[in-house]
Chains A and B, each alone.
Chain A
Amino acid sequence: MSRDGLRTQVGQLARRSVLRTLRQPAQIVPALVFPLFLLAVNSGGLKQATNLPGFPTDSYLTFALAVPFMQGALFSVMNTGTDLARDIETGFLNRLALTPLRGAALLSGLLAGAVVLGLVQAATYLTVGLVAGAELVTGAPGALVIVVLSVSITVAFGTIGLFAALRTGSGEAVQSLFPVFFVFLFISAMALPLDLIQTDWFRKIASANPVTYLLEAFRSLLFEGWEPAKLALGFGIAAAVLTLGMLAASSALKTRLVRT
């Protein structure tokens, strides 16, 4: 197939993915409301944490604003995976399999919806956070990097949803992943900076949890200033998850699409 043909396939599947996302308010609304609700609860209830010696900012809202970006990415696992699982369950994937469709086109196209959702989420979280009084020391360029990082993480996590859907073929199985991923978020530096976590085992787990470094990348832009090492680590983790997720999803797609 020519490069043009592949581009057309990706484009059409991306168009479908975006349309599906925009036509399902049930996918968009919880992904926006739930993280903002938790942000309001946490920033109100934990603001005394800023009195701890060594806490890096006076505003717990600013510190906690990194968390919705991660929670939004978790919704991407669910939404992308559930959409694909539904295609498998309804036989739509078989319809696609009967065309000269390339596996790479299918996976890339399906992630287009995650890009749109990621953009909407990032813009909403950031706007609401800033309106509520959060800091952004890196200004407009920092806001742009936050959006790009957020979309990258959303897409990267979306590949995990694709993999889960292709392996299980079941929307319920994909949705059951949500609590598992949520645990990953809680055992990170979500509520406190790493060096202020007093419990030894928790600090060790949080130190090993990549989510911690994704949060730190957001936080660096919000209240520390430009920290190239933290940004590189954040983008690097997103790239690694994307690469591994795509490889795993491609392999699962080959098994799922057993066409001769």
Chain B
Amino acid sequence: MRSVSLRAMTNGASGGKGIEVEGLVREFKNGPRAVDGIDLQVHEGEIYGFLGPNGAGKSTTVLMLTTLLPPTAGTARVAGFDIVADGPRVRASIGAALQEAALDPLLSGREHMRLQTALHGLGRAERESRGGELLERVGLSQAADRRVGGYSGGMRRRLDLALALVHRPRILFLDEPTTGLDIQSRTALWEEVARLAVEEGVTVFLTTQYLEEADALAGRVGIIDHGHIVAEGTPAELKAEIGRPTVEAVPREPGERGRLASVLERFGAAAGASPRAAAARLDGGEAQLAEVVRALDSEGIAIERLQLHAPSLDDVFLAKTGRSLEGAGEEEDAAEPEAEAVSTA
């Protein structure tokens, strides 16, 4: 895969060929509203990051936008086509790599390509050339004739991405494409996604529960929680909205943690911290750091480590939902029957 600077020029241009969603709802039988009236707009050529914990409604949204799950209410247009009335045209315009790369372990990468290109109606000659080109692009030429059952997680994801591109879609849906991948595979996939947006103008709708993924890749980010979009904007805008950095300190004596926390809270509200540390969001910004140090000194609290954190998307999530994104999914794993979405509908 070639290297492309992440998030470069991926803010897209406004237009009606991206994704437009109004009041989209999906309610499951005897279950919660997995998606509860979301509105969003993704411009052509933009990478839109859809961020949220497990069970927040990300995958259900993707299933609806890819026409695999009918919405209970609301409307959405993808590539200019209504997802309910124009399903076949929507599908012809999109590529999708859904959660858990759905591959056949008994087939090779090349056999997957042959099947996918044929089902998309490519001519016999084009099937081989397009398949070979995409396998080359995702770095799987050497492994093309090996059965997928022997592929690593990263190789599976790359094949999944290549399969989603066979018919040159204008819009690409990637549902948690890097979950479970090592950092090297993750970075390689990010670069390919960025390249698609920058060089080919592909619109990318990317769901993720990784803050750094949304931060690194997305031009704009929507944060979803309990089926609602709680924040939307560029990562920089969202962080600026929170605006305040966090100071985190670890006392030299563990018994001093309580006193340390009360000193820090003079400068702002308490924030999440590692188990031995205390943290506070600085009301006065970075400039207050010197005052914090002086206050700790005057209280006689010896500090082992002191760090200033710039606002992150997790801070944004915390500010909007009252919970930290890290771990928020665990408490909600049972909340949304996302895995059953297709099979039960």
Which residues of A are at the interface with B, using a C-beta cutoff of 8 A?
A: 1, 5, 8-9, 11-13, 15-16, 19-20, 23-24, 87-88, 90-92, 94-101, 169, 256, 258-260
Query: Hey, which chain B residues are within 8 Å of A99, CB to CB?
Result: 91, 116, 119-120
B208 contacts partner chain A, Cβ-Cβ < 8 Å: no
- Which 4 residue pairs spanning A and B have beta carbons closest together? A91-B102, A260-B87, A99-B119, A12-B118
- Known contacts A97-B68, A98-B91, A100-B88; A92/B104 CB under 8 A: yes
A99 CA to B119 CA, complexed, in Å: 6
Contact B96 A90 (CB under 8 A): no
Residue among B90, B94, B111, B121 facing the most chain A CB atoms (10 A cut-off): B121
Contact B102 A258 (CB under 8 A): no
A81 CA to B85 CA, complexed, in Å: 32
Nearest-neighbour CB distance to chain B for A60, whole angstroms, equals 40
Interface positions, chain B 135-173, Cβ under 8 Å from A, are 147, 163
Query: Hey, which chain B residues are within 8 Å of A100, CB to CB?
Result: 88, 91-92, 119-121
Q: A-side binding surface: helix, strand, loop or mixed?
A: helix
Interface positions, chain B 42-101, Cβ under 8 Å from A, are 66-70, 83-85, 87-88, 90-92, 94-96, 98-100
Contact A258 B68 (CB under 8 A): yes
- Known contacts A12-B114, A20-B106, A260-B83; A94/B119 CB under 8 A: no
Contact B87 A259 (CB under 8 A): yes
Nearest-neighbour CB distance to chain B for A84, whole angstroms, equals 12
Query: Hey, which chain B residues are within 8 Å of A98, CB to CB?
Result: 66-68, 91, 94-96
Partner of B342 from A9, A19, A94, A260 at Cβ < 8 Å: A94
Query: Hey, which chain A residues are within 8 Å of B118, CB to CB?
Result: 8-9, 11-12
B13 contacts partner chain A, Cβ-Cβ < 8 Å: no
Given A23-B106, A95-B116, A98-B68, 11 more pairs with CB closer than 8 A: A1-B121, A9-B118, A16-B104, A20-B104, A91-B100, A94-B342, A95-B163, A97-B68, A98-B66, A169-B343, A260-B83
Contact A260 B70 (CB under 8 A): yes
Contact A91 B98 (CB under 8 A): yes
Contact B68 A94 (CB under 8 A): yes
Which residues of B are at the interface with A, using a C-beta cutoff of 8 A?
A: 66-70, 83-85, 87-88, 90-92, 94-96, 98-100, 102-104, 106-107, 111, 114-116, 118-121, 147, 163, 342-343, 345
Nearest-neighbour CB distance to chain B for A232, whole angstroms, equals 38
A11 CA to B68 CA, complexed, in Å: 25
Residue of A nearest to B95 (CB): A98
- Known contacts A5-B121, A92-B104, A100-B119; A258/B345 CB under 8 A: yes
Contact B68 A19 (CB under 8 A): no
Residue among A1, A15, A259 facing the most chain B CB atoms (10 A cut-off): A259
Nearest-neighbour CB distance to chain B for A30, whole angstroms, equals 17
Nearest-neighbour CB distance to chain B for A100, whole angstroms, equals 6
Contact B100 A259 (CB under 8 A): no
- Known contacts A8-B118, A100-B121, A258-B68; A94/B111 CB under 8 A: no
Residue of A nearest to B115 (CB): A12
Contact B107 A259 (CB under 8 A): no
Contact B119 A9 (CB under 8 A): yes
Residue of B nearest to A170 (CB): B343
- Known contacts A5-B121, A258-B70; A95/B102 CB under 8 A: yes
Nearest-neighbour CB distance to chain A for B69, whole angstroms, equals 6
Partner of A88 from B67, B99, B343 at Cβ < 8 Å: B343
Contact B119 A12 (CB under 8 A): yes
